[in-house]
Amino acid sequence: MLSTATAIIEAVSDSIMEDETMDLARFITHKRHELSDDEFAKAIYFYSGMLSSNTADRITKVLLNPTEIAELMMSIDELEQLQNEVLGEENN
């Protein structure tokens, strides 16, 4: 359990320190006064999405082995297919 917790902490740290994420954070920080309020809000939103996506991806890889990840992806696909069928029936 301790090794998993340590791996999760490392995954979060790696996500934050990833080059692309840091480049975007630097851009937002240095160009803040040159951006309109809408551009700044979009940049922060994009940064937040990038960071959370990278973090979720890395933590998933810590918690699940490749087979479990494949099974999870298949389950998500099945749920999306079911959702599309249900929504498709409602629209008819």
In the chain, which residues have pLDDT < 70?
90-92
Q: What is the pLDDT of residues 58-78, one digit of tens each?
A: 999 999 999 999 999 999 999
pLDDT the model gives residue 92 = 58
- Tell me the angle at which helices 19-31 and 37-63 cross, rounded to the nearest 10 degrees: 160
Contact between 51 and 21 under an 8 Å Cβ cutoff? The reply is: yes
**pTM for this structure?**
0.71
Tokens of 44: 């922060």
Contacts of 22 (CB under 8 A, 6+ apart): 16
